Each structure stands twice: as structure tokens, then as C-alpha cells.
Structure 1
Amino acid sequence: MIKKLLLLVLISFVSVNIQSQEKGKDAAKDYTENVLTIDSTINSLYAVISGEKGKKRDWTLFKFLFHPDGKLITSGKNNERAFQIRYMKPDDYVKSSGKWIVDNGFIEKEIHRTVDAFGNMAHVFSTFESFHSKTDEEPFMRGINSIQLLNDGKRWWIINVFWDNENRRNPIPRNYLPK
């Protein structure tokens, strides 16, 4: 009888221990370090969307970088050649671009940055180059991300990322390129 009771206690202990380890794996990651400074926030933005073909992205971190009302804004011409902008929440960006960047590989590298800050707000002009793989010698795209940030006293939040891509009619100005 005592052996059965000890065996039952041991089985219960092992079961509870396994369950708590599994819950620990599912516990939310602490991304606080990613948003303590402007630099860590911008670096995290580039790091989270970048990766080789087939590499999963941490979309939870991506969404964590943005203020609840934060937006991503892209610009360009539509099929009728009219200029337009498109507003996206982080979830919209993941739905529209997430699969493509994983399937094709997408590495976005910042090559130049200017920062203007006042009080609890900051504006970052971040020039980027995009590659499909780290082994690519030439980028397939370049442009500038205009990133607005807010510090609420605890962390930096991305309010907006508004970008435009370079083309032959719209080259990146020298003052936004590495010296």
C-alpha cells in the first residue's frame, strides 16, 4: 500500500514538473531590451523582418515594436500610374508580406541613419538596402524608411514607418547615403 502511494506521489510530481516546463516554453518572451533605446528599437525592426529564405520571423516581436495605433505606410503608383499610399497595421503587413519575405528571403540592411529627437518624440530617416540572401553582392532594392517614435517614459514605440523605394527618377540623395 505504501509503495503504491509513493509511486502515485512520484507520478504526480513528475507530471506536474513536465506540465510546468511545457508552460515555461509557451510563456511570452520578454522583449523589453528591444525597445529601451532608439537604436535598439530600429535595430530590432530590421533584424525581425530580415532572414534567409525559409527562416521564420518572430512576428510577436515585430508587433511588440509598434504602438497599438502604429502604422506602416507604403507609397507608389497604382496600375493607372497614379500616386497612392497604403496604411497597414502590423498585422496587415504580416498578412500581406510575411509569407513572401520568408519564401523569397529578405534581408534589409540599414546603411545610413539620421535622428532628430525632441522631448518624447523622435524621427529617424533610415536608408536601407534589401537583399534576398546575405551572399548577394548587389541589393535588389534601396530606399528610405521614415520612422516616427514615441517614448512613454518606459520604452520606445514605433508610431509610423513610412517608406519610399529608390528608382531612376527618385535616387537617394547623397546626404542620406554613407559618407
Structure 2
Amino acid sequence: MKSSISLLLIIFFVFSLNAQEKEVKNPIDTTSVLTLDKTIKTLYNVISGESGKKRHWEQFKFLFKSDAKLIAAGKDVNGETKISYMKPDDYIKNSGKWLETNGFFEKEIHRTVNTFGNMAQVFSTYECFYNIKDKKPFMRGINSIQLWNDGKRWWIINLYWSQETRDNPIPEAYLIK
């Protein structure tokens, strides 16, 4: 009986060490939202990574206000212009596996920022790569990011993006100068 209890205690101890190890392994960086710049950089960093690399989805969700929307704009297979509304969890469910399977790096190449009081509107031009060593992007576009500062941190309240197409090229004003 004593050996059974001892064995159970050892198993419990090992499991709790493993649980603590997992929690410490990928903690949320609470400083990532203290400035507008850090919030935007964290957004790009958290979804980017080599093929096979797990993303830090808790950090991703930490960037967004609870009722935030992610809005993808583009044309469907029939050529009709559409938009799709998502919550951060929907984005993770719809895109997370693809990002981790294929490798994905989204790099900001230009940014314009307009602020008024505790609100900000950011136009962030991006290029996307499968691998960090790729020279030519497979996609470009603009993220329109609306943010709110509650006096303590920045929150993303909307992230609305559209990809560049032949019919809708990125204007010079939103490209590298």
C-alpha cells in the first residue's frame, strides 16, 4: 500500500513538473503591447516561422481585444469580391495548421500611422515568404490595423487585410521609399 501511494506521488510530481515546464516554455510577453510599434512587430513575429514550427497562439490572442475582428478581403474562385469576418480563434483554426505546415514569414515593408488620443489606424504593407531565405515574396498586401490604448496597453480591435493583385496593385505611397 505504501509503495502504491509512493508511486502515485512520484507520478503526480513528474506530471506537475511537466505541466510547469510547458507553462514556462512559452509564456506570454506582456511587454509586447506597451507600445504601438511593439504590438505591430509582435503581430508579424507571432504568425511567422519555419515549416514545422509551432506558433505561439496564446501570444497572438493576447494582442486582440476580446471582441476584435479579423477581416480578410479578396476575390473568391468565381472572381467575386468578398470579405470574411473572423475572431482570433477562427483565424488560428482556419490558418494555423497551414502556417505551421508550409512555413510562412510575413514581413512589414512600410507603415503609415495616424493617431488621435487613444486610437490609432495603421496601414502596414507586407510581403509574405515561405522561407526566411526566400528573395521573392509569394504574396504582398496591406494590413489595415485599428488599435485602442486603454491607458495601460495597446489592443488590436480590427485587423483588415487585402492582397495585392494585378488589378489592385499596392500604391506607391504604401511601398518602400
TM-score by length of 2: 0.87
Structure 2 equivalent of residue 98 of structure 1: 96
Amino acid at match of 1:149: L
1:168 to partner: Cα distance: 1.0
The 3 A distance-change label for structure 1 pair 86 and 19 is closer
1:122-137 map, 5 Å: 122-137=120-135
Once residues 15 and 52 of structure 1 are traced to their aligned partners in structure 2, the CA distance between those partners, rounded to angstroms, is 35
The equivalent residue for 2:174 is 176
Q: Once the 2 structures are TM-superposed, how far is the Cα of residue 81 of structure 1 from its aligned partner?
A: 2.1
> What whole-Å deviation, never above 9, does each CA across 1:23-67 have from its counterpart, x for those lacking one?
543547242111001001000000000001111100000011000
1:8-23 matches, within 5 Å, as: 21-22=17-18
**Residue in 1 that maps onto 2:77:** 79
User: Mind listing any 5+ residue stretches in structure 2 that lack a counterpart?
Assistant: 1-8
Identity across the alignment (%): 59
In structure 2, the residue matched to 1:4 is none
Q: 1:25 aligns with which of 21, 25, 29?
A: 21
> Matched residue pairs, number?
171
**Partner SS state of residue 107, structure 2:** strand
Task: Report if the CA contact (8 A) 2:141-2:162 is conserved.
Answer: yes
145-154 or 21-30, larger mean C-alpha shift? 21-30
Across the aligned residues of Structure 1 and Structure 2, the Cα RMSD in angstroms comes to: 2.3
CA shift for structure 1 position 21? 4.9
1: distance between equivalents of 2:11 and 2:130? 45
Please tell me the residue identity of whatever aligns with 1:172. I
How far apart, in 2, do the equivalents of 1:176 and 1:115 lie? Answer: 11
